[in-house]
Structure 1
Amino acid sequence: MSKIVDAHAHVFTHQCRIARNPRHRPRYEAPLASYLDLLDRFGIAQGVLVQPSFLGIHNDYLMDCLRRHPERLRGVAVLSPDVSDDTLDEMTTLGIRGTRLNWIGRNSDELKAAEWSALFSRLEARRWHVEIQAEGATLLAIVDLLQRWDLDLVIDHFGRPQANAWRDPVIDRLCVGVGDQRFWVKCSAPYRNRCDGLHDVGKRLLDALGPYRLMWGSDWPWTEHEHLYSFEKALNDIDQWMPAADLAVVMSETPRRFYGFAE
C-alpha cells in the first residue's frame, strides 16, 4: 500500500508552553524528528499533527512543524474563541485544517456562549472541520450543537464508546441517518475506549459510514498508555479491524482527500 497517512499523532518538547491545569502532562518529549523517523521506518508517507490537550491553545510548536514540512504534514489546532482572524488565516496557510475540542470532563454548555458561536461561524467560512474529543452524552450534545453550522465533524477514537456496538448511544448516532450528517471517524486509540468488542464497533461504523468516512491514526506517542501500544500494534490492529479491500481507502485515500495532501 502506498502513500499511507497517519491521521492522528502528537508532537511536543519540554520547551512547549503547557495549558493551565492539564489533566495529564508527559514527563518526556515527543519531538517532530522522532515522529518523522517512525513514519520513515514504517513506510508512512504523511502525518496529521493534532494539538494535544496538555498544550492547550499554545500551538507554536505545531505551527513551526508545519512550516518545516509543508508537503508531509497537516495540523489540527486547539483554539480559544478570541483567536484573531489573522492567526486563523496564518494557520490555514500553514496547513491547519481544523480545530479540536478537548471536552473530556467538561460541560458542553460552555460551547453555547456567543463567543464560541462566532468562532464556529468563522471556521465555517474557512471550511475548517471540528474534531471532537469527548464521551457519551457530552459528545452527543456537542454534535447536536454544531448542526447549526455547515461544518465537517471528525470524531476521535471510534467515538470513545462505553458499551458494545449495538448498545452505545454514540455509535447509534454516528450510524443512523448518516445521509444528512457530515461525520468522519478516526479508527485510533482502542485503549482509550471502555467497551468490549471494538472489532464490532469498527464493523458497524464501516457498514454504516463506508470507508470514505473512516481514517486510521496511530495516536503516537500514546500518552498515558505508552506501555500498552506501539506503531506495530497500531498497524496490526487496523489490519484486524478492517477488510483488506477497504484498507487503502481508510489508510490513504480518505485522509489524503480530507486533509488536502497532494496525490
Structure 2
Amino acid sequence: MEDKLKALKAAFPYTLPVMTGYLFLGMAFGILLNSKGYSFIWALFMSIIIFAGSMQYVAIELLCVAFNPLNAFIMTLMVNARHLFYGLSLLEKYNTAGKKKFYLMFGLTDETFSILCATEPPDGVNKGWFMFFVTFLNHLYWITACVLGGILGSLVSFNTKGIDFVMTALFVVIFLNQWKSQKRHAPALIGIGASVICLLIFGAQNFIIPAMGLILISLAFYRKPFEKGAEKCYLPSSSQSS
C-alpha cells in the first residue's frame, strides 16, 4: 500500500495539465452528446469503455445515422491508428508493469503517452505503479469531465455550433508544447511533411493511415542519425565533465 501511495503522489503533479485540458474537452463532449438527445449516462459509459476523445466525438455522429458496422470499424481504425505507433514505442516500458500492462494499453492516450515518454518516476517510486496512476488519473479526469458536461448540458441550453473544433485545438496545443520542450524538431517536421503530402494525394478523408505509415518509415530510416544527434545534445562536453 505504501508503494501505491508513493506512486500516486509522484504521478499526480504530472497529470495536472491534462486535468485542465480534459476539463474543457470532456465537458464539451458531454454537452455536445446531450444536444443530440443522449443523457449523461451515455457520456459516463462511453468515457469508461471507449476512452478515446477524438473517437468519442466521431461516435456522436455515428449514433445519429443508420448503423454501419464496417464504416464504424474503418473510421475507428483511421482515427485511432496513431495509438498503434504509440504502443510500439512503449512495449519495453509496459513489459515491466506485470498485469497492470493490460490497463496501461487500454488507457493509452496522446496525453498519457507524452507524460510517460517525457518523465521517469522519482527514485524509490515503483515504475509500474507510477505508469498505472498516470493512466488512471487521466482516465478519471476524462470520465468526470464528460459526465459533468452531460449534466450541465441537460440543465442549461447551449449553442453547440463549432464546439467540436475543441479536439483540433487540443492537438494543436499538444504539438506546440512538444515543439517547445524539444531542442530538435526534425521528427515534428517529418510528421508535418508526411501529413501534408498524404493529404494532397489521398484527400482529407483517407490520409491518416498513409501518413502514419510514411512517418513510421521515415523515422525508422533516420533513427540512428536522430539518436546520435540526441546524444550530442544531452551528453556533457569534456570541459563540463572535468
Larger strand proportion, structure 1 or 2? 1
Q: Could you tell me the TM-score, scaled by structure 2's length?
A: 0.25
Which has more radius of gyration? 2
Q: Larger helix proportion, structure 1 or 2?
A: 2
